[in-house]
Amino acid sequence: MAEPIETAVETPAEADRRAVKERSELEIRWRQARNPPPPVLRAVLANLGVATVGGLLLVAYDWLAPRGGIPGGDQRTLAVIIYAAIVIIAGSVLTYLWVELPTGASGEKRRSGWAALLGLFAAFPILYLALVAIFQLVRPALG
């Protein structure tokens, strides 16, 4: 019996594999930034929304308190603590309500404590950036 003769014919899949250029680290990170996982995007957006609305209220309080526009004295430190707690708690709860586990064929909506934890982990950097923006950018601009 004769042995089969190997040919040097390339399949289309092999040609495609050879033609693919390896991405740089910057290209990989840029692609990840453009296509975030939906649960992560929802967690960040929930926390960002709460931080923005609360931040506007905090800036108004911070601007009015030293001018005597608010009864009860100057409680700006307490206001910042309350703001931080609201961003962390509300962001976690909103993420819990917004991020659902995959449902499969049943269509049943399921929630998990992991979604709230995702919101908690997203809350800390958002809170930090919001506080920096409020007290280092907006407050000095208001005078």
What are the per-10-residue average pLDDT scores of the chain (143 residues)? 62 66 87 84 90 94 80 82 95 88 67 86 94 92 84
Q: Is residue 133 part of a domain?
A: yes
Give me the number of domains the chain comprises. Answer: 1
Q: Is residue 114 part of a domain?
A: yes
Query: Over the range 42-55, which residues count as b (16 or more CB within 10 Å of their CB) and which as e?
Result: bbbbbbbebbeebb
pLDDT for 76:
84
Q: Is residue 25 part of a domain?
A: no
Q: Is residue 76 part of a domain?
A: yes
Domain containing residue 99: 37-142
Which of 63, 84, 85, 93 is CA-nearest to residue 131? 84
pLDDT for 58:
92
Contact 100, 111 (CB under 8 A): yes
Q: Is residue 21 part of a domain?
A: no
Q: Is residue 59 part of a domain?
A: yes
Q: Is residue 48 part of a domain?
A: yes
